[in-house]
Chains A and B, each alone.
Chain A
Amino acid sequence: EAGVAQSPRYKIIEKRQSVAFWCNPISGHATLYWYQQILGQGPKLLIQFQNNGVVDDSQLPKDRFSAERLKGVDSTLKIQPAKLEDSAVYLCASGGPSGGSYNEQFFGPGTRLTVL
């Protein structure tokens, strides 16, 4: 079974520039999560999708971050404009065929973003 795919793996941009990350979850997984992991901290949920609907985006800085999962499969996370404090690893995870609170979350390799 293929795992969660993410691209790019690394990205370096200047502050105020835009950047986009892509995630393809495990086939059949209804739930998709985007996490931000700042160096030395645990992952923090930015947004959770169930199929193509948003379940939780309470921690997403909506003035600069946006995410979509239009067809309920792959997803894109965008930052516009980027700030220095956005430097982090952005992890995508997917879970369960039907969602639910007991589903194991499988993480992708992450995208390491550096904002200069």
Chain B
Amino acid sequence: GENVEQHPSTLSVQEGDSAVIKCTYSDSASNYFPWYKQELGKRPQLIIDIRSNVGEKKDQRIAVTLNKTAKHFSLHITETQPEDSAVYFCAGNYNQGGKLIFGQGTELSVKP
């Protein structure tokens, strides 16, 4: 079936620490895995994505890793800042047209 599991549901870290959010997916045909950040009352914003032909991608303090064999991918945020506080969603695509199935979300709180 079409399913993306995400954990933890909440994550609290001290400013400057690292944060890791993990997701697993059910369909081996999935080949595109974006991560979205959603601040309270705002639209989801893409922060990073990864395609199935690579194992890791970095963009400044954010990185995503993908393990296709195990069907899981993770978001890593280093040197966290209070403005990183938001809900983060992982997703995987499930048809050739790009249908995304989202995880349940992780509420990240970065304490100054």
Contact = CB atoms under 8 A, between A and B. Distances in A.
A50 B100 contact: no
Interface string A51-63: 0000110000000
A42 B102 contact: yes
A107 B44 CA distance: 6
Contact of B96 (A96, A101, A106, A110): A101
Interface string B78-112: 00000000000101010111111111110000000
A110 B42 CA distance: 8
Contact of B98 (A41, A101, A106, A108): A101
A101 B43 contact: no
Given A41-B105, A42-B102, A45-B100, A101 B44 contact: no
Interface residues of A, number: 27
A105 B46 contact: yes
Interface of A: 31, 33, 40-45, 48, 50, 55-56, 91, 95-96, 99-110
Interface of B: 6, 31-32, 34, 42-46, 49, 51, 89, 91, 93, 95-105
22 contacts: A31-B98, A42-B6, A42-B89, A43-B44, A43-B89, A43-B102, A48-B97, A55-B99, A56-B99, A95-B98, A99-B97, A101-B31, A101-B93, A101-B95, A101-B96, A101-B98, A102-B31, A104-B46, A104-B49, A105-B46, A107-B43, A107-B44
